[in-house]
Structure 1
């Protein structure tokens, strides 16, 4: 893919509006080309883009990441998790999609969308690094979501967050966020039929795709699932070597912490909250243990 012809002129200005203009051109190209491309090749391309932006995979490995996929409740689960950990005094990053009003909402620090100034700064840093190496890579440039993912990684590394909560875009196995090789903990929210043309026509096929974010030795949690997809998750976790636990119902926490109430209504939010509690608790426990042992990542 090649950026639109006006890009070079826009790059010289390096304004916020210029950044939005170039980003929108990536979105237009995504709508036309991305659905036709092999997802395996897209993930491979994402790994190449990562290097071109100056982020070696080893550097990304050092980031404290909580990686979350699923069909329903990804955003709520990530928001709950980020809020819990931020309330412990940690400097948090949060990457999510889609945005409601402005694209800056997708990349948050300490719960707030990054400022116009930071967005402009890091957008052009990322874009220029990609442009500089474009001729060596057959003029290939990332699609919209790929670019924002690369930019989010760059922001979180440069802003030195203590941890980053990363929400998967589509699926898991071939999602561009799956360049993450060493998350601290993974979460899988409620599964359903979504993006069937890309992920499969059955719950079991979709569960297989979602399980693609699991990594060897990395703990994972999921909410209650239907028996079929749960078996797929458990089988994949065993094959990968990722210990997988099913979260308890939120009511089961009451014996320890008393009655639990949420700001969001609905039984599904109670599932999301339970998953968030498990993800944040696991991260806090392992972070403290690893740090005391001198092996923390940051």
Structure 2
């Protein structure tokens, strides 16, 4: 009672290790300890000293990462063989793996199965990462399993095992506990980064594996070529476990084939979705964009193979005989298409996956939200954006609307390559901002990220803005839409007329939330409030009454935009 009303996480700082353990166990049983308190404790695993020790110890020995993960799992009360009971579908890839997982989960849920789904990152709340029957687990369930796992790990600390697992590892372990204790029929598990050394790869006996489209991403971890990245992705293949992939560039596909042979895993190429539509009406997908068709095709193979291997009936006849499962040295065989069941068709139609080709309306503003952050996914995003807003495909926008780009890119991504693909969309304004939704996130622990400082985030935004300016200057004289000379002399130059450009630095400033000398915004909701009024505040020509805003470059940027919209 004496602690009631105190901030639950301000106490451990003043206590010793033993007292902290006792307090953590006590906190987990107190009704007034909130979901946000559990998230704040989880967030301490983003930067704690023990994690830095882990990184130092494991650097140069990637296999040690999996050994460490197994140790954490056992300290939490589970063994690796316990995971076999989850009937896992394990999916990796660079682009579309989350969408493929979402399609797969929805199809199997339509068969009446109780599904678990572990994905990353979250968009609004951490509990979105762990889903049962398509829904994020409740705050009460999150609290229950968070403290169960945290206390067991805290209790088992000793000189030989002094560390706690880092953020993603902890959530992975927690997801396994949730799925086992809530008795799901299957778990769809999305790889975090790569595959071979990803902490989800302690899974030893999945029912089926999948590899979505490959691309260049996370180069500092996975390597700087498609071949190196394919090698990492192929690390999830397991002996005798069927695996499926979509059409890939020739050499990366060859690497996947070699990895499958090496691991004695039968690997197949998915047929096009068109092959499933022969003789029936076109399939309706719950996720927009032509690029989702290959994700849906992968999901159909994963779902049917899972059902087949678990002895389910009524799967729909194959349109031709199954390919040989012999591990030959030839090309990757094409899996046959099959007759779709009503549950499969319904599952594809019902799939929802926030932050991917999503459209939201807010007064005169239409938000086009997509987490695209690789060159291929940005290309797909541009195609979807033009298709969703038909006039874009033909010409720059009319005098009645303003077209806005809201962009950020993080990590080691090649911003210039991404932005170059967006120039042809003819945006009137380009807004570059960090992935922050508030000046202070103290009251919203779900959005805290201790791995990125405000200074670094703003520096990256300025670099992105300069890159955009340079790309536009290079286009002057080539694109009749761009005026000459181009008015890009500063961050906050107003556009005197339609067709001119305003580049806005989307910054955090703790003391102001005002428009000054152009536009200086302190948080993503500032943009939402600004555009939620009349679009004329953008300096558009008289008569403008619509704003079309594309949000891309980062899933976390989608999170802020959606939060601000809500």
**Fold in common (TM above 0.5):** yes
Q: Deviations over 1:198-238 (max 9, x none)?
A: 11111000000000000000000000000010000011101
- Structure 2 distance, partners of 1:160, 1:252, is 36
Are 1:69 and 1:167, in contact at CA under 8 Å, matched by a contact in 2? Answer: yes
What does residue 25 of structure 1 align with?
Answer: 44
What does residue 119 of structure 2 align with?
Answer: 96
**Local SS of the residue matching 1:288:** coil
Q: Deviations over 1:165-217 (max 9, x none)?
A: 00000000000000000000000000001111111111000000000000000
Are 2:45 and 2:51, in contact at CA under 8 Å, matched by a contact in 1? Answer: no
**Local SS of the residue matching 2:193:** coil
What does residue 259 of structure 2 align with?
Answer: 236
Are 2:50 and 2:164, in contact at CA under 8 Å, matched by a contact in 1? Answer: no
Give the Å deviation of 1:263: 2.2
What does residue 500 of structure 2 align with?
Answer: none
What does residue 13 of structure 1 align with?
Answer: 27
- Structure 2 distance, partners of 1:257, 1:133, is 58
| Corresponding position: 1:46 with 2:73 | no
1:119 pairs with one of 117, 126, 142: 142
1:142 pairs with one of 147, 162, 165: 165
What does residue 80 of structure 1 align with?
Answer: 103
Are 1:207 and 1:229, in contact at CA under 8 Å, matched by a contact in 2? Answer: yes
Structure 2: unaligned runs, 5 residues or longer: 1-11, 314-566
Are 2:50 and 2:163, in contact at CA under 8 Å, matched by a contact in 1? Answer: no
What does residue 280 of structure 1 align with?
Answer: 303
Structure 1: unaligned runs, 5 residues or longer: 291-298
Q: Deviations over 1:57-114 (max 9, x none)?
A: 1211222000000000011000000000001000000000000000000000000000
CA RMSD in angstroms, aligned pairs only: 1.9
- Structure 1 distance, partners of 2:89, 2:49, is 27
- Structure 1 distance, partners of 2:211, 2:27, is 42
Q: TM-score, normalised by structure 2?
A: 0.49
**Local SS of the residue matching 1:75:** helix
Corresponding pairs, count:
287
What does residue 210 of structure 1 align with?
Answer: 233
- Structure 2 distance, partners of 1:186, 1:134, is 34
What does residue 191 of structure 1 align with?
Answer: 214
Shift in alpha-carbon separation, 1:218–1:252, aligned structure 2, 3 A: same
What does residue 55 of structure 1 align with?
Answer: 78
**Local SS of the residue matching 1:271:** helix
| Corresponding position: 1:268 with 2:287 | no
Q: Which has the higher contact order (CA 8 A, sep 6+)?
A: 1
Are 2:51 and 2:164, in contact at CA under 8 Å, matched by a contact in 1? Answer: no
Q: Deviations over 1:252-281 (max 9, x none)?
A: 101265321212222220010000000001
Give the Å deviation of 1:160: 0.3
- Structure 1 distance, partners of 2:237, 2:226, is 18
Structure 1 stretch displaced more, 17-26 or 195-204: 17-26
* Higher helix fraction (1 or 2): 1
- Structure 2 distance, partners of 1:256, 1:279, is 22
**Local SS of the residue matching 1:135:** coil
Are 1:204 and 1:232, in contact at CA under 8 Å, matched by a contact in 2? Answer: yes
